[in-house]
Structure 1
Amino acid sequence: MKAVGIVGGERAFGGKTPKIKEDPRPLYLRVANAIRENIASGRFGDATRLPSEAELTRLFGVSRATVREALSALERDGLISRAHGKGTFARKPQFTLSPGQSRNRGFTETIREMGLIPGTSYLSFNWEPADHEFAQSLSVPVGSPLAVIKRVRTVNGDPVEYAIDWVPAKIIGEDMSAETFPESLFEYLRKQRGVVFGYSDLTIESVLPSAYMAGLLHLELNMPVLLVEEIYYTPEGSPILRCENYHRSDRYKFRIRV
C-alpha cells in the first residue's frame, strides 16, 4: 500500500489532527486554546507561520468564521500577529501582571496558569551585612545578615526576568544556603516559615540594562527593561523582603487599578 504523506496542516501540529476540548466555553475559544497550547509548548515558535484559515477550518472541522474569531482572540492576547498577504505568525507570549500578584501566587504558579513552562536559573546565593539603607528599609540593625538571591527566570526556556531579593535572616532562616534554596521563595516563606504577606510598596520605571544583564536576558544594550522595585510587608506593616525585578519590556506589561 502506498504511504500517505502528512498534509501540511497536520505537520504543523506534530503529524496529528488537533483536537478541541469538550467544555462549556464557546467553540471559538476552544479552538483558540488548542492553538494556544501549541504556542505554549514551543511547537509554534516565535515567528513560525501558522496554517492558513482554510487549513485550520479543515483541521478543526469548524466554520471559517469560528477560526477567524479564534485567531482574533489570540491576536488580542498578543500570541499571534497577522500580515496581509503573508499569513499568521506565532509570537512569544507576553505576560500581563498586576503589582503584588505574587502575594497570592508566585512566578512559577503564574506562568503555569498561562499554560507555559516556568524555569529558574539560580545565579548566586550569598549572605551580606545590611548597610544603612537596607537596614532602614527592612527594619533590621545595620550589619545584620541578609540573604541576597540573584536569579534569572525563564518561560519555555527563554529568559524573561532578572530578579534580586534581599531577605533578613530572621525571615528566611539562618540555615538557608544555595544548596537548600527552594524552587519558590514565596511558597517557602508562606508554608515553611509561616510568613503572611499583607501588602507591598513598589515603583516601576524603564531603565537600560547593563551589558551583564543584557547578556543574561539575551537583549540588545539599547532595549529598555522594566525595573520593578518592591518591598513586601506583613498585614501589620513589618517588612518581609525587598526585591528588584528587571523584566524584558517586550514580554511583560503591567495592569494597575487606580
Structure 2
Amino acid sequence: MSARVTKYEQVMTSIRQKILSGEYFVGSQLPSEPQLQKQYGVSRVTIRLAVDGLVKDGLVERVQGKGSFVQRPQRVSRLVRESSVESFSKVALASGFHPQTKVLKVERVVATAALQSKFNVDVTGLLHTVRLRFLDQDPIFLENNYYPLPRFATLGDYDLNGSLYEIFREHFGITSLDSDDTTLSVVTADVETAKLLQRSVGFPLFSMKTEIFDQNKKIVQYGEQLIVSDRYQFKI
C-alpha cells in the first residue's frame, strides 16, 4: 500500500508542476487516463488517485463524458499534521497564486497577562504586527503576530511586505521554524474583519492560534490569524 501511495504522489506532483509551469494551461484537457497510465508506467488506479488529488486541490475539474480539464486554482492548502512551519508566500506560489502582503500596523505593546503566558521567557514588551495577505488581489488572511522584545526590537526596520522567514534567516540567525502548539477553530467575521477581508458580516473564518519556535526551541512569535474559509483549506 505504501508503495502505491508514494507512486500516486509522484504522479500527482509531476502533473501539478506541468500545470503550474503552463505546459498544461488553464482550460486545456489533461491526457486521458490510458495516456497518462502509459506515460508514467503505472496502474489506472494510481492515475485516478493522482487526478483525484488535483481535483481536491482545485487545479483540475472533471467533466462528465468529456474528461479532466485544468482550471484556475481557487484555494490554497496547508498541511496541519506536521510541526514544520510553511511560508504563506511559498505555499501560495506552489499552488499557482500570486501572493501579496499589506502591512497594517507595527507597534510596541505591553505584554498583558494573557500574552505573557504564551512566552516562556521574560519580555520587556512585545512587537505587534498586523498584516493582510492576498491571493491574486483577494484578501484572505488577517495576520496578528506578537514578537518578544528585546530580541525582535529591530524587526520593524525591515520590509514586512515580503517574507518574514527570509528576514528571520538573514537578520536574526533563524534557520528553521517549528510549531508544537496550534489551535484551529471556526469563528464568524465581525464588521471590522469583514470589511478588511471583503466578506459579509458573519462569514465563516478559520481562527488559528499558534506558537512558533526557532531551531534552538526559543519562541519567535505567537500568532492569532483569521483566514477566509472559501479560499483556504487545511489538510489533516
Query: What secondary structure sits across from 2:201 in the alignment?
Result: coil
State the Cα distance separating 1:177 from its structure 2 match: 2.6
- Tell me, in whole angstroms, the C-alpha distance in 2 between the residues paired with 1:179 and 1:235: 22
2:163: which partner in 1? 184
Q: Is the 8 A contact 1:106 1:186 kept in 2?
A: yes
Query: What secondary structure sits across from 1:152 in the alignment?
Result: strand
Q: Cα gap change, 1:106/1:35 in structure 2, threshold over 3 Å: closer, same or farther?
A: closer
Q: Cα gap change, 1:246/1:104 in structure 2, threshold over 3 Å: closer, same or farther?
A: closer
Using the size of structure 1 for normalisation, the TM-score is: 0.65
1:21: which partner in 2? none
**Structure 2: which 5+ residue stretches go unaligned?**
1-9, 37-46
Q: Is the 8 A contact 1:106 1:187 kept in 2?
A: no
Q: Is the 8 A contact 1:182 1:188 kept in 2?
A: no
Output aligned runs, 1:1-258, within 5 Å. 50=27, 56=29, 66=35, 74-81=54-61, 90=71, 92-99=73-80, 103=84, 105-141=86-122, 144-172=124-152, 174-177=153-156, 180-181=159-160, 183-195=162-174, 196-234=176-214, 237-256=217-236
1:20: which partner in 2? none
- Tell me, in whole angstroms, the C-alpha distance in 2 between the residues paired with 1:179 and 1:238: 21
Q: Cα gap change, 1:150/1:32 in structure 2, threshold over 3 Å: closer, same or farther?
A: closer
- Tell me, in whole angstroms, the C-alpha distance in 2 between the residues paired with 1:185 and 1:100: 22
Query: What secondary structure sits across from 1:244 in the alignment?
Result: strand
Q: Cα gap change, 1:141/1:100 in structure 2, threshold over 3 Å: closer, same or farther?
A: farther
State the Cα distance separating 1:194 from its structure 2 match: 1.5
Q: Is the 8 A contact 2:105 2:129 kept in 1?
A: yes
**Structure 1: which 5+ residue stretches go unaligned?**
1-24, 45-49
Residue identity in the other structure for 2:147 = V
Per-residue CA shift, 1:46-104, capped at 9, x if unaligned? xxxx46xxxx48xxxx669659979766423223545669x979454322212386945
State the Cα distance separating 1:118 from its structure 2 match: 1.5
- Tell me, in whole angstroms, the C-alpha distance in 1 between the residues paired with 2:115 and 2:53: 45
- Tell me, in whole angstroms, the C-alpha distance in 1 between the residues paired with 2:211 and 2:106: 19
Residue identity in the other structure for 1:201 = D
Residue identity in the other structure for 1:111 = A
Using the size of structure 2 for normalisation, the TM-score is: 0.71
Q: Cα gap change, 1:197/1:219 in structure 2, threshold over 3 Å: closer, same or farther?
A: same
Residue identity in the other structure for 1:224 = P
* Structure possessing the higher radius of gyration over alpha carbons: 1
- Tell me, in whole angstroms, the C-alpha distance in 1 between the residues paired with 2:185 and 2:53: 30
Deviates more, 1:154-163 or 1:75-84: 75-84
- Tell me, in whole angstroms, the C-alpha distance in 2 between the residues paired with 1:171 and 1:117: 32
- Tell me, in whole angstroms, the C-alpha distance in 2 between the residues paired with 1:250 and 1:132: 34
- Tell me, in whole angstroms, the C-alpha distance in 2 between the residues paired with 1:29 and 1:129: 46
Q: Cα gap change, 1:97/1:103 in structure 2, threshold over 3 Å: closer, same or farther?
A: same
State the Cα distance separating 1:243 from its structure 2 match: 0.3
